[in-house]
Amino acid sequence: MKKISRLKIDRKVLMIPAIVVLIVVALFLSTQTGGGEDILSEAIEGGELTLTSVGRNYESLMQFVQNNETQARQLLEAARATLENGKARLNSARRTDDDYVLGMLDNYQKVAQASDVMAQGVDNLLTINENLTDAIYYYSQKNYTKASELASYCLDVLTSLSDDFETSNATLNGINFFYIPSGQKDQLKLRLNQYRNETEIYNQYVLLLQSLKEGKEYLQVNSQLEDLLMQLQNAIANKEWDKAEDLRQQISKILESLRNPQYQNAADLASQLNPNLFSGSTSDVAQELRNRLRNLEGINNFQNYLQGLEQYLEAMNLLQQGDVEGAQQAINEGLRILEQGQPADPELQGLYEGLRNAFMHIRDQPAQG
């Protein structure tokens, strides 16, 4: 009996450590499950903050475009603070070995890098803002040399980041949406679009400054052309036909010289400007540069106008001599020439329309020419 009793006691003693082991295992599994949930939550929160930082960077850029520098700086600081918080949570979540969470973290690391680039882009624009404003002012005063010098300084700051924008864009193309929570997929798509929009706007500022820098000589020649064109219009108004023809030929020679690659390189840059992506005076300057730095198509349209004008001057001379039939032939030829041109430049469109109306007037009243 003593042996049986002792055996029962030993079994009870052995069961105690076994129960302790089970409790420890249960606590361990519970801790692991809770830890996994915490890590996933950190990853999601980190991703949300990262996406928010992209949006704030974009809002900051929009404020800069609208010339609201103070708001742009405030939003930029908020974007950077939000991104730092997001990065902290993403880094904390890296202690996991869960493939899905690691895939999510890899995706959001790409977004975080892009957000850093966006923030630096806005910071660069804010850095050059005063010089950019001065460059636009000197351009408006036709001091193209000073405008070019300031544009060159601004470009040194902006172009240093151009490669980073391109690199991040390529990296973002590698995002795997499988590792993005369903609740964040639409927001991620929005933020990717905002990143690409900021890249485009940033590059437009680079193009604007390049056009001011590279277009200095072209703008100076174009200023001479505009002065001659004004003299030509005055000569026509005063019915000084010989003087008008001489001025027309001078303008034609200047336009021919602008076909030189030295000028056309600047024209190609200006042709890529999108004034709609700017605001205020910056938008106006972008539009003017597109019009004034004429590419080969623009020069052809201007030359076409001058050829039509030649027929108009010929018609007026013939009418003075009483040759109505010859004048009618010149009028018809002039109208035919104008039909061949389709200028995009509003100023040139106005010249076309004015000449067309002049032709119609003398055609309807040839005897009074």
Q: What is the mean pLDDT of the chain?
A: 90
CB count within 10 Å of CB 50 equals 28
**Statement: residue 99 has pLDDT above 80:** yes
SS3 282: helix
- Confidence (pLDDT) at 306: 96
Kindly indicate the confidence band of residue 146, based on its pLDDT and cuts at 50, 70 and 90.
very high
Q: How far is CA 266 from CA 163, 269, 293, 348, in A?
A: 22, 5, 7, 20
Burial of 368 (0-12, 13-18, 19+ CB in 10 A): exposed
The CA-based angle 328-331-334, given to 5 degrees, is 150
Q: How far apart are CA 62 and CA 283, in angstroms?
A: 14
User: Measured on CA atoms in the order 38, 44, 48, 50, is the torsion positive or negative?
Assistant: positive
Burial of 250 (0-12, 13-18, 19+ CB in 10 A): middle
Q: Quote the percentage of the chain above a pLDDT of 70.
A: 89
Q: How far apart are CA 46 and CA 50, in angstroms?
A: 6
- Confidence (pLDDT) at 344: 85
- Confidence (pLDDT) at 173: 96
Tokens found for residue 255: 């336009």
Q: Average the pLDDT over 159-163 and give the result.
A: 96
Q: How far apart are CA 93 and CA 88, in angstroms?
A: 9
- Confidence (pLDDT) at 36: 56
This prediction has a pTM of 0.85
**Statement: residue 27 has pLDDT above 70:** no
Tokens found for residue 204: 């437009």
Domains, the chain, with CATH or none: 12-211 (1.20.58), 216-258+295-368 (no CATH)
Sequence letter at residue 346: P
**Statement: residue 32 has pLDDT above 70:** no
Q: How far apart are CA 173 and CA 296, in angstroms?
A: 37
pLDDT in tens, 42-55: 999 999 999 999 99
**Statement: residue 24 has pLDDT above 80:** no
Kindly indicate the confidence band of residue 163, based on its pLDDT and cuts at 50, 70 and 90.
very high
Kindly indicate the confidence band of residue 187, based on its pLDDT and cuts at 50, 70 and 90.
very high
Q: How far apart are CA 250 and CA 228, in angstroms?
A: 8
**Statement: residue 206 has pLDDT above 80:** yes
Sequence letter at residue 265: N
pLDDT in tens, 215-247: 999 999 999 999 999 999 999 999 999 999 999
What is the distance, to the nearest Å, from the Cα of residue 349 to the centroid of all Cα atoms in its chain? 27
Q: Average the pLDDT over 156-180 and give the result.
A: 96
pLDDT in tens, 335-356: 999 999 888 888 899 999 999 9
Q: Quote the percentage of the chain above a pLDDT of 90.
A: 83
Kindly indicate the confidence band of residue 364, based on its pLDDT and cuts at 50, 70 and 90.
confident
Kindly indicate the confidence band of residue 25, based on its pLDDT and cuts at 50, 70 and 90.
very low
- Confidence (pLDDT) at 37: 63
**Statement: residue 291 has pLDDT above 90:** yes
| Phi and psi, residue 344, nearest 5° | -90, -20
- Confidence (pLDDT) at 74: 98
